[in-house]
Chain A
């Protein structure tokens, strides 16, 4: 990559800049800042679209009564059962149980608080999910 080919397609860095390596006019390598690159932005968008789909899917299932609120906060935090199990210390089996509304609704306050702390929210927030 030549120095004048370093892309500046802004969008994903919240105004930050990242460093790229490129050849200057004499063919010597220099480090230059870049605001981003279209190819990367597209790949990132795709990854977030997928996360968004997971969140919407979770919400739909919650409103149909198929799963508990846990599913929404897991999707929002990009966690699957295995990762949540590692963060919470609960076994995968326990989490699967808590994903069922019937068991989730009977959970004691300290268990809810524990889950909430993993997601960096309050227990009260955990009891609610957006309507759509």
Chain B
């Protein structure tokens, strides 16, 4: 089977938003990564000490995997098909059948099993999204949103990656748009996305998410050197920095991507205020970057560890205060 669909690969910062945007562009809807991220209500903060990744608590700067795609397509009235599989051969056969029909499909994969991925990033992370757009000489043609250019992967490797195990196991998950409306009004979806993000960041009555979650981490972080010992504290800190900055966030734990969305939203809704909010989000993003840099230098042992943890907590509190103001303002704007 030799198929190469006329699919345009665009590199993006984040995989889920990128795969979604690239797929929709193929289906005739011009959209950007940041629009997908914003309309899909992607921005979030959550600290989940009861979920451990490599024995270290999970921190997230975005909403749950799959959520952005689901919300975005629902809000724009795009019909989609999502499938999980028990049988691995069947999962691959259905992908082939789709390609034969001229349809590219997004697959959820485990990064660990993707041979083309930069080796330093190959951890057991199972919510990586790629688009398969062809098959040539037994190899699949893949548009990996994080990569600069399209790549190829063998049948065995793709199958393995689609059936990675562990937290967030993809179970062969495959998804693609079935019906894309021709003319969409972006006003309502943009409003919904903004409202949802503002709500999630300030109004959820649970101490581990949103602005309250950031403050909670600040309090915990101050205690890490005592409660965990210096070594483990550094590992907790390192994981936090990686979740914030590692491939796919566009910088500062999605804050810059969100600021980009706010600018697009300002134009779509013709609201100047959103432009100002965008600059405020950039400013808070810069604080997050400061946090990462200071934390990283501590890990490398270039600064005295004792005073740095309170200092780091201080930056987090500033971030929390700034974000609280931004999202409260956003809630108050009559969109």
A residues contacting B by CB (< 8 A) are 1, 12-14, 16-23, 27-29, 31, 33, 37-40, 42-44, 46-48, 50, 77-79, 83, 86-87
Contacts and interface: CB of A to CB of B under 8 A. Distances in A.
The 9 residue pairs across chains A and B that have the minimum distance between CB atoms: A29-B260, A86-B165, A39-B296, A21-B256, A42-B296, A12-B120, A43-B241, A46-B238, A19-B13
B324 interface: no
Contacts of B202: none
B120 to A, nearest CB: 4
B124 A21 contact: no
Interface string B233-245: 0110011011001
Interface of B: 11-13, 33-34, 54, 112, 118-121, 123-124, 146-148, 165-166, 169, 234-235, 238-239, 241-242, 245-247, 250-252, 256-257, 259-260, 263, 278-279, 282, 285-286, 289, 292-293, 295-297, 299-300
A40 B245 contact: yes
B241 A40 contact: yes
Nearest to B55: A80
Given A43-B296, A48-B120, A21 B242 contact: no
Contacts of A46: 234-235, 238, 299
A21 B112 contact: no
The residue among B169, B238, B279, B286 with the most chain A CB atoms within 10 A of its own CB is: B238
Contact of B147 (A1, A16, A77, A83): A16
Given A12-B121, A14-B118, A21 B296 contact: no
Contact of A83 (B165, B295, B297, B299): B165
Contacts of A79: 124
Most buried by B among A21, A29, A78: A21
Given A19-B11, A78-B112, A50 B251 contact: no
B148 A17 contact: yes
B124 A28 contact: no
Nearest to B169: A86
A29 B259 contact: yes
A42 B286 contact: no
Contacts of B297: 39, 42
A23 to B, nearest CB: 6
A37 B260 CA distance: 20
Contacts of B285: 1
Given A21-B251, A47-B238, A33 B148 contact: yes
A29 B296 contact: no
A33 to B, nearest CB: 7
Nearest to B252: A1
A19 B250 contact: yes
18 contacts: A19-B146, A20-B256, A21-B34, A22-B256, A23-B259, A23-B282, A31-B33, A33-B11, A39-B295, A40-B292, A42-B238, A43-B242, A44-B121, A46-B235, A47-B123, A50-B235, A78-B112, A83-B165
A107 B166 CA distance: 26
Nearest to B164: A87
A14 B115 CA distance: 12
B152 to A, nearest CB: 15
Contacts of B260: 21, 29, 31
Contacts of B252: 1
A18 B235 contact: no
A83 B166 contact: yes
B213 to A, nearest CB: 20
A19 B257 CA distance: 11
A88 B123 CA distance: 18
